[in-house]
């Protein structure tokens, strides 16, 4: 047993040495597009210090096999002599001695699934995304990145160009380079933020209309949160690389200060703008939450689920949803939550830990429902004087200006619980495993589950007291006009099928 214990200690010591030698270092790299068909890049560079441990990202979200794209990896020591590298596992290599310089080729064919195209690097014959997080050796901090493109191509990014064709990247994990031919940019000042739209190709709407939508949404969020992110931001709007992608599908990621929106191209302007507005209402908030906060950890339930709720609030404020549309979204979310939860309830905290690949639906739908219920309960507790928007304002005030990083779950739960009368709610529906029984939870706020039907339909109660009416008005309810819409909705439900 003593010998086995010594072997275990020795193995742990070796592992610690490998980790220590691979501590995050500055990189100086050159990324060259060597071919667009097939899609290939050449990566050459050096680390600030030598290391024997070399790692490359193999998974990101639902995308896997990323490190399998690496070919022809060669390492060199300080003198330029080649160092033998041995493969330990996919994306994991050990060098015979400390190596500083490196070179390799990377296959960048578009991912098999359209849903992964905003999250990883890829190239086509006309455009692509280069994301250092899945291209460069790990772990990453800052980097100097030179990008060499085919003739006629250009690059759009928020990263600083030093004037010599080299980008000074302060956080390589969060960097995005949009590359291609015929890229277009429009820049503007939105409140306290510099904002750029970068796009390519033809859309049913104009670049000006896309920019106006983004500006409107950014202004609403800056007003709600009480400040702007510190860095300039960019929206990259591009079509999917897969020719078979459906026009009504989109996927997006907000990485650092860049929102990457890969969207199908609907042929008619109104549906196309509605799809754009819906996606931007969710994604643009990520410039603040979580990307603008000094918070760490798995609090996806808040920055995805609660963001879904705020996106609907923006749709209401911009007149893109009626109040009944708004309520219908929560009925759909409740049905999706019941389907996703299975036979056993789990907390939002636990669901966030299990997000990939099993709990994504639960995070989005249960998180959105809990946000609505929290907002209703808080307005009820405070007579309409406080709302969920006040939590966002305080969150950004405390953690939006940098400084020491804190645990996101702890910080947000403290703020949510600290609002008047909300501690028990947070303990039950965020940290705890209480099932959402929707009817009783919304009745006190003047809402109800409409009887009949296989799906959940939420409506406004037949009679409202003053406090209920005021609370619902803050959510966008417009008394008489919404009552008429509700009557029409009831008539349509009773109409016999043809």
Question: Looking at residues 54-59, what average pLDDT do you find?
Answer: 97
Question: Looking at residues 447-458, what average pLDDT do you find?
Answer: 92
152: left (phi over 0), alpha (psi -120 to 50) or beta: left
The residue among 52, 53, 100, 93 whose CA lies nearest residue 79 is 100
Specify if 205 maps to a domain. Answer: no
Specify if 457 maps to a domain. Answer: yes
At residue 244, the pLDDT reads 63
Specify if 122 maps to a domain. Answer: no
Contact 106, 120 (CB under 8 A): no
The residue among 200, 146, 137, 203 whose CA lies nearest residue 169 is 146
Q: What is the DSSP letter of 163?
A: S
At residue 8, the pLDDT reads 39
At residue 454, the pLDDT reads 86
Q: What is the residue-wise DSSP string for 342-367?
A: TTS---HHHHHHTIIIIIHHHHHHHH
Q: Which residue has the higher pLDDT, 412 or 6?
A: 412
Specify if 304 maps to a domain. Answer: yes
Indicate whether 145 pLDDT > 50.
yes
Specify if 151 maps to a domain. Answer: no
Residue 403 pLDDT class (50, 70, 90 cuts): confident
SS3 at position 385: coil
Note down the domain range covering 478. 295-494
pLDDT by residue (tens digit) across 313-334? 999 999 999 999 999 999 999 9
Domain count, the chain: 1
Question: Looking at residues 88-94, what average pLDDT do you find?
Answer: 97
At residue 484, the pLDDT reads 53
At residue 493, the pLDDT reads 47
Specify if 406 maps to a domain. Answer: yes
pLDDT by residue (tens digit) across 297-308? 999 999 999 999
Specify if 99 maps to a domain. Answer: no
Indicate whether 11 pLDDT > 70.
no
Looking at 394-403, 477-486, 489-498, which range is the least confident one? 489-498
At residue 7, the pLDDT reads 43
Instruction: Indicate the average pLDDT of the chain.
Output: 91
* Residue carrying the six token digits 């109800």: 448
User: How long is the chain?
Assistant: 498
At residue 19, the pLDDT reads 43
Residue 491 pLDDT class (50, 70, 90 cuts): low
Could you give the CA distance from residue 116 to residue 412 in angstroms, rounded to a whole number? 29
Specify if 432 maps to a domain. Answer: yes
Could you give the CA distance from residue 249 to residue 115 in angstroms, rounded to a whole number? 9
At residue 345, the pLDDT reads 87
Residue 486 pLDDT class (50, 70, 90 cuts): low
Contact 472, 375 (CB under 8 A): no
Residue 360 pLDDT class (50, 70, 90 cuts): confident
Strand 258-263 and strand 295-296: pairing?
Answer: unpaired
Q: List helix spans (H) across 226-295.
A: 269-283
**What percentage of the chain has pLDDT greater than the value 90?**
82
Could you give the CA distance from residue 340 to residue 356 in angstroms, rounded to a whole number? 14
């Amino acid at each position: 047993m003593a010998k086995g214990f010594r072997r275990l200690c020795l193995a742990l010591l070796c592992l610690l040495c490998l980790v220590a030698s691979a501590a995050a270092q500055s990189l100086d790299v050159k990324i060259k597009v060597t071919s667009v068909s097939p899609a290939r890049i050449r990566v050459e560079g050096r680390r600030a210090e030598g290391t024997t441990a070399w790692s490359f990202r193999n998974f990101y979200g639902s995308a896997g096999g990323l490190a399998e794209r690496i070919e022809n990896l060669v390492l060199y020591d300080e003198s330029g002599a080649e160092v033998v590298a041995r493969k330990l596992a996919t994306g994991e290599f050990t060098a015979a001695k400390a190596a500083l310089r490196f070179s390799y080729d990377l296959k960048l064919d578009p991912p098999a699934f359209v849903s992964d195209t905003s999250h990883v690097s890829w190239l086509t014959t006309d455009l692509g995304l280069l994301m250092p997080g899945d291209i460069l050796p790990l772990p990453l901090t800052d980097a100097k990145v030179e990008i060499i493109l085919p003739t006629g191509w250009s690059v759009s990014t928020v990263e600083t160009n030093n004037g010599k064709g080299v980008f000074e990247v302060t956080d390589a994990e969060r960097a995005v380079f949009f590359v291609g031919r015929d890229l277009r940019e429009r820049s503007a000042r939105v409140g306290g933020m510099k904002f750029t739209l970068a796009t390519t190709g033809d859309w049913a709407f104009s670049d000006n209309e896309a920019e106006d939508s983004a500006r409107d949404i950014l202004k609403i969020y800056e007003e709600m949160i009480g400040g702007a992110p510190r860095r300039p931001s960019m929206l990259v709007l591009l079509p999917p690389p897969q020719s078979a992608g459906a026009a009504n599908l989109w996927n997006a990621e907000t990485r650092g200060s860049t929102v990457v929106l890969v969207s199908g191209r609907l042929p008619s302007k109104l549906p196309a703008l509605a799809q754009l507005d819906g996606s931007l209402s969710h994604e643009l908030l990520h410039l603040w939450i979580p990307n603008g906060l000094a918070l760490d950890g798995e609090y996806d339930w808040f920055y995805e689920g609660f963001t879904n709720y705020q996106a609907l609030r923006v749709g209401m404020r911009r007149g893109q949803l009626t109040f009944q549309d708004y309520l219908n979204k929560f009925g759909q979310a409740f049905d999706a939550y019941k389907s996703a939860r299975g036979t056993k309830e789990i907390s939002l905290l636990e669901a966030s830990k299990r997000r990939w690949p099993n709990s994504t639906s639960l995070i989005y739908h249960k998180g959105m429902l809990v946000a609505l219920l929290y907002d209703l309960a808080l307005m009820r507790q405070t007579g309409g004087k406080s709302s969920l928007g006040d939590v966002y304002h305080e969150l950004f005030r405390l953690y939006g200006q940098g400084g020491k990083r804190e645990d996101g779950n702890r910080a947000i739960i403290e703020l949510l619980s600290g609002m008047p009368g909300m501690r028990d709610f947070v303990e039950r529906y965020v940290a705890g495993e209480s099932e959402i029984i929707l009817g009783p939870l919304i009745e006190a706020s003047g809402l109800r589950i409409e009887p009949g039907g296989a799906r959940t339909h939420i409506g406004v109660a037949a009679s409202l007291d003053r406090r209920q009416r005021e609370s619902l008005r803050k959510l966008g309810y417009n008394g008489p006009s919404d009552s008429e819409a509700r009557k029409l909705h009831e008539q349509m439900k009773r109409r016999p099928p043809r």
